[in-house]
Amino acid sequence: MRISTSQQFDTFSANIAVAAQQMFEAQQRVSTGRRLNQLSDDPVGASSALTMRSLRTGLSQYSSNLHAAKGMLGYSDTAMGETTNLLNRAYQLALAGANSATDQAGRAGMASEIAGIQSRLVDLANSKGPNGQYLFGGQKNAAPPYAVNAGALTYSGDTNDVVVEVGPLDTMAATTQASTIFTDAYAQLENLKNNLASGNVGAIGGLSVADMQSSLQAVSLARGTIGGKLRTVDEFTSQNDRRSNDLTVGISDVEDADIAESVVKYQAAKTAYDAALNVASQGFGLSLLNFMK
């Protein structure tokens, strides 16, 4: 069967167009460093990359939650540490007040210092976190949860923890339940203050000393709980960082081009394109080239 000049022209034109497109795509991969520059380059790969990006975005939110939780827990631990220092001082005052060598003027001065410790304890109970929320009020964290009424520390927060998502199926409490710690400690300090002021040495050496030890133990237990939560935050943070890095590598494997390989393919595509032009020019002289212009 005889092939017409028109058919040959169409064949050469098609070959040149295919070669030009392949050269253009290869050039794009070299210039952008990406294997996927449009969805049609690899629909399956593009879908996989989109899924991995979505997962990485989710991990980014979990990381933000973990960062917020770490901030709240860190501030809580600092407040509890300062509370420990206050109660240790009160414990030392109780021991000194129970000593028979201490006169009543000395005990009166100690009672005054205990009043200052109580005031500072209220400040710590109403500590704020990094975002301005009250740390020890549960979910009612927009207003101070503790106030002194008639010589007693009262609590107006709730018993619900602030819970954050730290993984696809994981949550954790970013707050610490401490209402009884602060209210009990305040009441025990009030008793110690009154015993010092009245010179009730027996009560100071017995009940007040024991009360301070009890409050210190309660704070120590709370700090242990906070420390455990901080370790959990660090574990989830490391886990999420590893997952995020794995997804980043996976996305790169799908989307990014091997530059050395891309250069070789571009050179091959350009050679094929030049060859297609050469074949056409030999078959039709300048007519085809003029047509392309």
Encode pLDDT of 130-142 as tens digits.
Answer: 999 999 999 999 9
Among 125, 103, 121, which residue's Cα sits nearest to residue 113? 121
Does the pLDDT value for residue 213 go beyond 90?
A: yes
Does the pLDDT value for residue 219 go beyond 90?
A: yes
DSSP conformation class of 140: -
Q: Which pLDDT score is estimated for 13?
A: 62
Task: Convert the pLDDT of each residue in 93-110 to its tens digit.
Answer: 999 999 999 999 999 999
Does the pLDDT value for residue 30 go beyond 50?
A: no
The whole-model pTM stands at 0.74
Task: Convert the pLDDT of each residue in 133-192 to its tens digit.
Answer: 999 999 999 999 999 999 999 999 999 999 999 988 999 999 999 999 999 999 999 999
**Bigger pLDDT: 24 or 54?**
54
Q: Are 188 and 94 in contact (CB under 8 A)?
A: no
Tell me the C-alpha distance between 86 and 133, whole Å: 23
Tell me the C-alpha distance between 73 and 75, whole Å: 5
Structure tokens at 193: 């203050």
Tell me the C-alpha distance between 35 and 44, whole Å: 13
Please give the distance of CA 26 from its chain centroid, rounded to a whole number.
41
Task: Report CA-CA distances (Å) from 141 to 83, 134, 138, 156, 162.
Answer: 20, 5, 6, 10, 9
| pLDDT category of residue 1 using cuts at 50, 70 and 90 | very low
Q: Which pLDDT score is estimated for 277?
A: 58
Q: Are 255 and 41 in contact (CB under 8 A)?
A: no
Tell me the C-alpha distance between 229 and 208, whole Å: 32
Strand ranges (E), the chain: 146-149, 152-155, 163-167, 170-173
Which range has the worst mean pLDDT, 48-62, 159-173, 186-200, 225-239?
48-62
| pLDDT category of residue 122 using cuts at 50, 70 and 90 | very high
Task: Convert the pLDDT of each residue in 195-207 to its tens digit.
Answer: 999 999 999 999 9
In the predicted model, what is the mean pLDDT of the chain? Answer: 83
Q: Which pLDDT score is estimated for 251?
A: 78
Does the pLDDT value for residue 261 go beyond 90?
A: no
Q: Are 284 and 12 in contact (CB under 8 A)?
A: yes
Tell me the C-alpha distance between 129 and 73, whole Å: 8
Tell me the C-alpha distance between 28 and 259, whole Å: 11
**Residue recorded with tokens 């973990």:** 66
Q: Are 209 and 67 in contact (CB under 8 A)?
A: no
Task: Report CA-CA distances (Å) from 136 to 40, 73, 77, 177, 231.
Answer: 55, 11, 11, 6, 20
CA dihedral 51, 53, 58, 59 (to 10 degrees): 120
Q: Which pLDDT score is estimated for 48?
A: 80
